[in-house]
Amino acid sequence: MLNEQISSDLKEAMKAKDADTLSTLRMLKSAVKNKEIDAQKELADEDIVAIIKMQVKQLREASDVAETAGRPETVEAAKREIALLEKYLPTQMDDVTLSQVVKDALQIAGATTKADTGKAMGAAMKAVGGRADGSRVKAVVESILTASIVAAVVFAAAHPALAATASAAKDASMIVSGARIARVFLMLMGLVSVLFIVMGSVTVMTASGRDHGHHHGLQQIGVGVFGTILMAGLIAIATATIQKLG
């Protein structure tokens, strides 16, 4: 278990008289212990990961404040603590792996529409297991659910018998309306994706050499590019569907 690994590393730091590591791990162990007292149970690995992420976030915020205030020694100390804590965090997924893991999770959960967003996010976050930021997971979930809606519309348009039945029952107009609504939503999602690219670019340019800022900016750009390409393709499909059934 992660808690046992931290305890083992703490003992090794004591033997080596590594003051920096000792200080960081003692703070972490204290936070874990306090949480266990509050919860009245031993924490699972995912609970400890959440505590570590919170400490890393606090250290990064403190580092930013110290850098603005011109205290380089505090910045370097925070970076050392962050590097130590991040060793206990799961390796982050790349965009391709994340998309596949989320897609598989949604298929197993049976989440196919926007109404299933809550269930989809729960299944996706569980499958990811802390190996990707929640904002990245949310962007992929929304893209997949939107693609599922458009795919259903395209499937109906691709089968003449089904289209004829739908027309006879006045359902063809509903399909077209659905495609139009989907297209508007896709355009909005496309704008969000472009915004991710812009925000990521600004973050990278203003990172001032901070590794975490630069990495976060690149992640934003990656999500933005992926979303923009996907939305453009889906908008084209929705438009073709409207023209065919309209």
Round to whole Å and give the CA distance between 125 and 127: 5
Q: Which residues contact 224 (CB under 8 A, 6 or more apart)?
A: 193, 194, 195, 196, 197, 198, 199, 200
Give me the chain's average pLDDT, please: 82
Round to whole Å and give the CA distance between 135 and 214: 17
Query: Which of 68-72, 158-162, 210-214 ranks highest by mean pLDDT?
Result: 68-72
Above 60 in pLDDT, residue 238? yes
Angle between helices 134-157 and 211-245 (to 10 degrees): 10
Choice between 72 and 146, residue whose per-residue pLDDT is larger: 72
Query: Which of 110-124, 195-209, 214-228 ranks highest by mean pLDDT?
Result: 110-124
Residue 170 corresponds to which tokens in the numbers above? 């006045």
Nearest to 22 by CA among 63, 66, 81, 96: 81
pLDDT in tens, 88-116: 988 888 888 998 999 999 989 888 877 88
Cβ–Cβ < 8 Å for 5, 29? no
Quick one: CA dihedral 126, 132, 134, 136, positive or negative? negative
Tell which phi-psi region holds residue 43, choosing left (phi > 0), alpha (psi between -120 and 50) or beta: beta
